[in-house]
A and B are shown apart, each in its own frame.
Chain A
């Protein structure tokens, strides 16, 4: 507190304009800033600076180390929008998002509804359903890599026992995106399950007891009580799942490397390839900015149209 002016005890209106008055009045603000400082620092280093730098780089061509060498204005953007590969990547990403988010959230909701029933030993299932949260993307991708293996993979062996035609899970361009989606749904279920289960357990038991006395059946209660009461949780999990789906990278890298025929070249993987394989940091940055805008628009739309259906208590 050294060097701080001594607050003057005065009741004249002048007190409001002299420096000590300002110093006193801004006390709350200064305290708030002090508390916010650690987050500002971390966000600046890990979020704001890289973001700015990405926008900056998207206007340049770079050398192989990523240093800007030639200012090209919006040419990087023009280039990526003309690129067939980028357009395919955008389409693949939207297909991927449209598969993983609805099915992932519905699966998690289904499991959470099951695990919320009061049954003996339900704790075991709650643990199991949530347990893949603890697995890294790399480890689970490798497991799925084995499951999808064309000859020794469990899926094809299973199909073979019923004399069904074999599926080239990761090698067939039309199947690969589905296979990656299945893997992603499986990996995200644990987190979504846990959040939804938490939301379910937060619903007052008395609401159901009253409904039981009134004679409402299971489906009626689900539709009229559970889902509306769960809407804030569902809104949160859908938002997070959407953002996560747009940013999927690890499983693509391990399962397909964007192939076959770029069918699983999701946008973040495409950015990665552009930047770290082709050393085209400029176009890669431009893609990142486009991705950022996509997520921003989708999230804004979701808040605009989705939140009306959310019942906050």
Chain B
């Protein structure tokens, strides 16, 4: 198993606007590393640079301990799964799986053995003689996966492999890919635009926006301590509510709600800030809570998801979301009391976008309808 290291890697096409700027990261051997970001953020470009399908215009790429900038894709000893699977339509599943082994002139007996081994692992044994067009989307995905792991390459790259599957199959394949990666111990670099995949699959994730690295870290660290408002709104569903605020008289003033008392000294010398709060950290204000912490808001949308309820409400000029456990029978137009406590909020610097304070609460509350 090999590490993959990017040092100041840049990419530009014919001119100054860089599509990828100064990426620095070391992906450890055997790690499941995820590149996540919105469309056009450069995540696929980074993956393709690692694969050697795009040239690197600046910086260094190391695979293992070897500088790989100018190596041919075939010399980098890696495998790749493409978004559309890139299966050969004229070859059977078996021939698709052993394509790389055939190229490398692996003896026929061993090809057969390895193919059968991998097919058994992925439940493809019954389909080996079929053509890809006779397979379902999920089966094709497995063939692509089989083709990637049959080579036993130390590094595997995946470019949005699950985006063509339906939601249920996607959830299943997420778990399966993760298990295979653990079992084989390969270094996996996985590109996705789906923050849910990133959160659930990655050992570490890298959040990208406009070709720049926003944050690298363990999924929960990123969730709990997002480095800037972009990461905060990108990771988590529904996204974190972020709004401009001012600091005065040791209180945070946000348009549309009552001032929040500042409990510590982290915000000293700050005047204009950005405040973010995760939907699940907005709490319902029961009758016991003192009036100065109760904010009455108007509900504009309610989505009951069975075990939890997402409530959208108007606040100041914008719309916020709250996510509560349980089934809240709230109607559109209802006015409900909320509490936004100092412990629950994240604060970002308005100028530098840096995180100043992250929330302390993480417990989930359970409410019955009667308490409203």
Contact = CB atoms under 8 A, between A and B. Distances in A.
Contacts of A212: 52-53, 72-74
B371 interface: no
Contacts of B88: 207, 224-225, 228
B79 interface: yes
Contact of A214 (B53, B84, B90, B103): B103
Given A213-B51, A214-B74, A229 B100 contact: no
B80 interface: yes
A209 B53 contact: yes
A216 B86 contact: no
B86 A229 contact: no
Nearest to A204: B86
A220 B105 CA distance: 12
A138 to B, nearest CB: 42
Which of A207, A215, A229, A311 neighbours the largest number of chain B CB atoms within 10 Å of its CB? A215
Interface string A193-232: 0000000000010110111111110001000110011010
A226 to B, nearest CB: 11
Contacts of B51: 209, 213
Interface in B56-82: 72-76, 78-80, 82
Contacts of A206: 82, 84, 86
B284 to A, nearest CB: 50
A211 B103 contact: yes
A211 to B, nearest CB: 7
A215 B78 contact: no
A216 to B, nearest CB: 5
A313 interface: yes
B104 interface: yes
B329 interface: no
B90 A229 contact: yes
A210 B143 CA distance: 13
A231 B88 CA distance: 14
B80 A215 contact: no
A313 B73 CA distance: 27
A11 to B, nearest CB: 40
Nearest to A214: B100
A209 B144 CA distance: 14
Nearest to B153: A213
A209 B74 contact: no
A206 B133 CA distance: 17
B103 A220 contact: yes
A210 B86 contact: yes
Nearest to A311: B90
B86 to A, nearest CB: 4
Interface string A270-303: 0000000000000000000000000000000000
Contacts of B75: 215
Given A209-B53, A210-B80, A313-B133, A215 B86 contact: no
Contacts of A209: 51, 53, 73, 80, 82, 86
A206 B89 CA distance: 12
A216 B53 contact: no
Contacts of A210: 80, 82, 86, 99, 147
A313 B88 CA distance: 9
A220 to B, nearest CB: 6
A216 B98 CA distance: 13
A176 B161 CA distance: 60
B82 A228 contact: no
B181 to A, nearest CB: 18
A313 B89 contact: yes
B241 interface: no
Nearest to A313: B89
Contacts of B133: 313
A183 to B, nearest CB: 36
Nearest to B147: A210
A214 B151 contact: yes
B82 A229 contact: no
A105 B342 CA distance: 76
Nearest to A221: B103
A215 B72 CA distance: 9
Contacts of B84: 204, 206
Contacts of A214: 74, 99-100, 103-104, 151
B90 A213 contact: no
A55 B84 CA distance: 54
A225 B51 CA distance: 20
A225 B95 CA distance: 12
Nearest to B133: A313
> Which 8 A/B pairs are nearest by Cβ-Cβ distance?
A215-B74, A311-B90, A206-B86, A214-B100, A228-B90, A212-B73, A210-B86, A216-B103
Interface of B: 51-53, 72-76, 78-80, 82, 84, 86, 88-90, 99-100, 103-104, 133, 147, 151
Given A210-B86, A214-B151, A313-B89, 16 more contacts: A209-B53, A211-B99, A211-B103, A212-B74, A213-B51, A213-B74, A213-B76, A213-B100, A214-B74, A214-B104, A215-B100, A215-B103, A216-B103, A220-B103, A228-B88, A229-B90
24 contacts: A206-B82, A206-B84, A209-B86, A210-B99, A211-B103, A212-B72, A212-B74, A213-B51, A213-B73, A213-B74, A213-B78, A213-B79, A213-B80, A214-B103, A215-B73, A215-B100, A215-B103, A216-B99, A224-B88, A224-B99, A225-B88, A228-B90, A229-B89, A229-B90
